[in-house]
Amino acid sequence: MTAWYVEHGPEGDVVVSSRIRLARNVKETPFPVHMSREQGEQIIEKAKQVLLGSGNGAAHVFDYFSMNELNAVDKQVLVEKHLISPEMLQDVHSRGVLLSKDECVSVMLNEEDHLRIQCIFSGMKLDEAWDLANKIDNLIEQEVEYAYSENYGYLTCCPTNAGTGLRASVMIHLPALTITRYINSLLNAVGKLGIAVRGLYGEGTEARGHFFQISNQVTMGMSEEDTLENLKGIVRQIIEQERLARRKLFHENRERLEDRLYRSYGIFSNARIMSSQEFMKLLSDVRLGINLEIIKGISLKKMNELMIATQPANIIKRFDGNLSAEQRDMKRAEMIRNTMDH
């Protein structure tokens, strides 16, 4: 298994990735916002003991990273890869992450909750992500007694996560629905069905390049299986609506659409300086062109790789330097050109 961002998964023309996140807390221990440094270290040591211990076969799968010991660039790289939340960057004692070597699994320690188990795959793979997250959850629960109530389910720092503690989400690319101006009515409709729509990096972030995060809002009163089935049903409808909008655009405004996509492709492939914001806008058009077979010879897999590799911290990490914003923009353009030439 390889990292989600170097793959092209099922329904990958619309769905970029699928993610499962489980929020868990240790019984009779204050939530991270109220606990002491010593209590936070105890949570970390217990999680490391379970997943890095030699008894369960998981020791060779995970590495541990202390947030206090990572530099700012390395921490931001993890955010850009969607392996940790932006909240993990806050300067709070006793935070760390257990990360699988294939970067499909991350266990955030002492974020908002004691443990946040996350599995992320390319394409529409919610069932596979849930299966893996559930196995890791069960493995931890063999050694750790969770805070749990017969009435309220798993107890969490934020009441909106109590119950199953499950957040299932897909990163979805909706350029045609945006271009045809159906996007607002669609997103308003799904919002009434208990579905949250957020930006590229989750709550409080913007939807750059027509990429959205679609996730369940309800975590209490529904089983994990029902939550997943509800989300999958809604996502399938969104996928069909997006594909329908793409076909409509292609058949009704082909010349105008081709002109837009080829112009974007030309700039994307030849620019010498490109900002992150411009990259996401052009990437959206190029992906749409690839999916409609207007732009040929370039794979969506390469586009997924570029979406992560050209983020600011990933560029700094790749070129091992203290680059200015303009130097990053130049390196980004160079990376895109090199990718499009091969």
Q: Which pLDDT score is estimated for 146? A: 96
- Asked if 273 and 330 touch (Cβ cutoff 8 Å), the reply is yes
Ordered DSSP codes for 13-36: TTEEEEEEEEEE-BTTS--TTT--
Tokens of 321: 């330097």
Query: Can you list the domains of the chain with their CATH numbers?
Result: 4-242 (3.30.590.10), 254-340 (no CATH)
Predicted local distance difference test score (pLDDT) of residue 204: 46
Give me the pLDDT at residue 315, please.
96
Q: Which helix (H) or strand (E) covers residue 286, if one does?
A: helix 276-291
What's the whole-model pTM score?
Answer: 0.91
pLDDT of residue 40: 93
Mean pLDDT, the chain cut into blocks of 10 residues (342 residues total): 81 96 96 92 94 73 93 94 92 89 95 96 96 96 94 93 95 94 87 82 60 91 93 95 95 94 97 96 96 93 94 93 92 95 76
- Name the β-bridge partners of 171: 17, 213
For 149: left if phi > 0, alpha if psi spans -120 to 50, otherwise beta; the answer is beta
